[in-house]
A and B are shown apart, each in its own frame.
Chain A
Amino acid sequence: MILTAQDVALAGRLQPLSLVLEPGQVIAICGPNGAGKSSLLSLLAGVQAADAGAVALDGTALSAIPARERARSLGYLAQGGGAAWDLEVEALVALGRLPWQAAPLQRAVSSAGQDAEAVEEALAAMDLLALRHRPLSRLSGGERARAMLARVLAGQPRWILADEPLASLDLGHGLGLLAALRQAANQGAGVVLVLHDLALAMNHADRVLVLDEGRLVADGPPEVALAQGVIEQVWRVKAQWLGEVGARALGLGC
């Protein structure tokens, strides 16, 4: 499923921009604070409507797709999103199945068995099987972040759109989460991540979109989109890539 944006704009936050996003890739959105990264992601996820232009899935505008059907295709993880109630991990992850399950006046799209299986897989992918009955209030920040992403995975979306999913994760679990997302991409899903850590984007993304003050200033493979010149122009810091391709580190101020 190809996700396209045609001249989408948000007043005061995003200048008109167009994108064609192919599934099977990990795509990173980078940019300084206030660049419009979260706005772009929420437009792509259909959570927010654009002031101008349209986002389309395989050529059909999101606004023309029934909400539950759209929800099964586009999984969205809000930035630092919490839960209002102290659910157990498994109940939280199962919320990801809502667009598939029967609801009043709505037929189920999947069987109860398929729902349970999807929840199980998501728990396993995020290393949460041992914590499944633990309430959210008794999880560490990192465990909670994994549970939130597991909720998205449980919905088995064609696209995973996550806003800074690595924000509160330690190194090991951050890499584990990226590996899980890479696996989803290898299985045909599209992955779009807002990432603050440029080294992670450099080493793990197939494509990087760089935003600055609401404009798309670079778009391409990480070596190109995150070239030294782009970083200096957008982030206004002196920076240099060190190390081998695939294990790059960003040297700052040298």
Chain B
Amino acid sequence: MMSRLNLWLLLALALAFAASLLAGRVWIDPFVPPFAGAELILIDLRLPRACLAVLVGAGLGSAGAAMQAYLRNPLADPGLFGIAPSAALGAVLSLWLGAYGLKLGAWALPLFALLGAGGAMALLGLIAARGGAALFTLAGMMIASLSGALMSLAISLAPSPFALSEIVVWLMGALADRSWSEVWVALPLTLAGLGAFWLAAPALDALTLGEATARSLGVDPRRLQMLLILGVGCTVGGSVAVAGVIGFVGLVVPHLLRPLTDKRPSSLILPSALGGGLLLLLADSLCRLIPLAGGELRLGIALSLLGAPFFLALLWRMRREGFRGGWA
């Protein structure tokens, strides 16, 4: 069943998708005969990049909505589970090994990132197996902190200045110079993650009333936890594997769309996926258009530059209206 909100978002997404294919340093006018190389730019550069933006944004947006529902907190972010930093650690490790001359091939980075995400997921599942959301969050934060420390260690021990800059630039997150092979990594993972969130949706609704009440409504907390780990692991792990660390989407998108829904967590997941895809597509197109000496603006930086002041303004408004007991 599609709500009106979902239809509007889908329409906007379709328009933005078409526009993002035409926009860039070289503009493609659909109404004049194509120039030499236009097909190459369209099919091999812009189409996979646009697909990736939608997939990564959809994954991060839906993961944010699911996390906020699971932790019953509008300020929760997919990064809280420690899966994004662990995936980033895996990716950094592959860059590091690459700098030592190991011939790892193009698949190594996404593979290492997914292994990092998988490791964090397994650790989370083992540690938090019998605890509630609080233990789970603490475990996630510790995993994030450990991964962050190891990542800093890897950076400080980088074998060469070149490797150092490669790692740092990669960590900023971007969709530039991506190809279809990244799309084939992100597509199944994003779909699997969305599937997990779909399975978890009724339980997340019940969780609105607290853990005890959710249990009394027939929710199996262990199953819900596993679905969340699986969903966040697939979406966030997949997005880090193909695009690096991209913040704010998972936090801001569900936050912005919640007032337009009936506030049930289950009615926010699909809009957040569509909205996340839309936001990332627009931000990435903007990154391509803004002229910058020495390349283009990194997507991760752009989102934080836009997102943080925007969110601060939102908090400012909330402060003036009075923050009502965690209700956003």
Q: B residues 252-291 with Cβ under 8 Å of A? A: 258, 262-265
1/0 per residue, CB under 8 A from B, across A74-85: the answer is 111110011111
Any B CB within 8 A of the CB of A7:
no
Asked if A151 contacts B218 (CB within 8 A), the reply is: no
Q: How far is the CA of A45 from the CA of B219 in the complex (A)?
A: 13
Q: How far is the CA of A85 from the CA of B205 in the complex (A)?
A: 10
Report chain A residues within 8 Å CB of B69: 84
Any A CB within 8 A of the CB of B324:
yes
Asked if B262 contacts A87 (CB within 8 A), the reply is: yes
Say yes or no: A78-B212 contact (C-beta < 8 A), given A88-B262, A98-B202, A98-B206.
yes
Asked if A87 contacts B263 (CB within 8 A), the reply is: yes
Report chain B residues within 8 Å CB of A103: 202
Report chain A residues within 8 Å CB of B263: 85-88, 91, 135
Size of chain B's interface in residues, with CB distance under 8 A? 31
Report chain B residues within 8 Å CB of A71: 216-218
Any B CB within 8 A of the CB of A46:
yes
Asked if B327 contacts A137 (CB within 8 A), the reply is: yes
Say yes or no: A84-B201 contact (C-beta < 8 A), given A91-B264, A137-B327.
no
Say yes or no: A78-B202 contact (C-beta < 8 A), given A91-B264, A95-B217, A98-B217.
no
Number of A-B contacts (CB under 8 A): 95
Report chain A residues within 8 Å CB of B159: none
Report chain B residues within 8 Å CB of A86: 263, 324, 327-328
A146 to chain B, nearest CB (A): 15
B203 to chain A, nearest CB (A): 8
Q: Name which residue of chain A comes closest to B207, CB basis.
A: A84
1/0 per residue, CB under 8 A from A, across B135-155: the answer is 000000000000000000000
Report chain B residues within 8 Å CB of A92: 208
Any B CB within 8 A of the CB of A70:
yes
B265 to chain A, nearest CB (A): 7
Q: Name which residue of chain A comes closest to B265, CB basis.
A: A85
Q: How far is the CA of A254 from the CA of B296 in the complex (A)?
A: 84
Any B CB within 8 A of the CB of A130:
no
Q: How far is the CA of A85 from the CA of B258 in the complex (A)?
A: 10
A193 to chain B, nearest CB (A): 15
Q: How far is the CA of A251 from the CA of B210 in the complex (A)?
A: 38
Asked if B262 contacts A76 (CB within 8 A), the reply is: no
Any A CB within 8 A of the CB of B44:
no
Report chain A residues within 8 Å CB of B217: 71, 95-96, 98-99, 155
Say yes or no: A87-B208 contact (C-beta < 8 A), given A47-B216, A98-B217, A98-B218.
yes
Size of chain A's interface in residues, with CB distance under 8 A? 40
Q: A residues 84-136 with Cβ under 8 Å of B? A: 84-88, 91-92, 95-96, 98-99, 101, 103-105, 135-136
A74 to chain B, nearest CB (A): 7
Residue B220 contacts which of A67, A88, A99, A137 (CB distance < 8 angstroms)? A67
A191 to chain B, nearest CB (A): 15
Q: How far is the CA of A71 from the CA of B202 in the complex (A)?
A: 14
1/0 per residue, CB under 8 A from A, across B27-47: the answer is 000000000000000000000
Residue from the set B208, B219, B325, B326 with the largest chain A CB neighbour count within 10 Å: B208
Report chain B residues within 8 Å CB of A137: 324-325, 327
Asked if B218 contacts A104 (CB within 8 A), the reply is: no
Report chain B residues within 8 Å CB of A151: 209
Report chain A residues within 8 Å CB of B325: 82, 137
Any B CB within 8 A of the CB of A238:
no
B244 to chain A, nearest CB (A): 32
Asked if B218 contacts A78 (CB within 8 A), the reply is: no
Any A CB within 8 A of the CB of B49:
no
Asked if B212 contacts A95 (CB within 8 A), the reply is: no
Q: How far is the CA of A137 from the CA of B321 in the complex (A)?
A: 13
1/0 per residue, CB under 8 A from A, across B299-328: the answer is 000000000000000000000000011111
Asked if B216 contacts A104 (CB within 8 A), the reply is: no
1/0 per residue, CB under 8 A from A, across B186-217: the answer is 00000000000011011001111110110111
Any B CB within 8 A of the CB of A42:
yes
Report chain A residues within 8 Å CB of B262: 87-88, 91
Report chain B residues within 8 Å CB of A96: 217
Asked if A99 contacts B215 (CB within 8 A), the reply is: no
Q: Name which residue of chain B comes closest to A97, CB basis.
A: B217
Any A CB within 8 A of the CB of B72:
yes
Q: B residues 218-268 with Cβ under 8 Å of A? A: 218-220, 258, 262-265
In the complex, given contacts A81-B213, A84-B209, what are 10 additional A-B residue pairs having Cβ atoms less than 8 angstroms apart?
A: A46-B215, A47-B216, A84-B69, A85-B263, A86-B263, A87-B262, A95-B217, A98-B206, A135-B263, A148-B209
- 5 closest A-B pairs by beta carbon, nearest first, are A71-B218, A76-B216, A84-B72, A68-B218, A67-B218
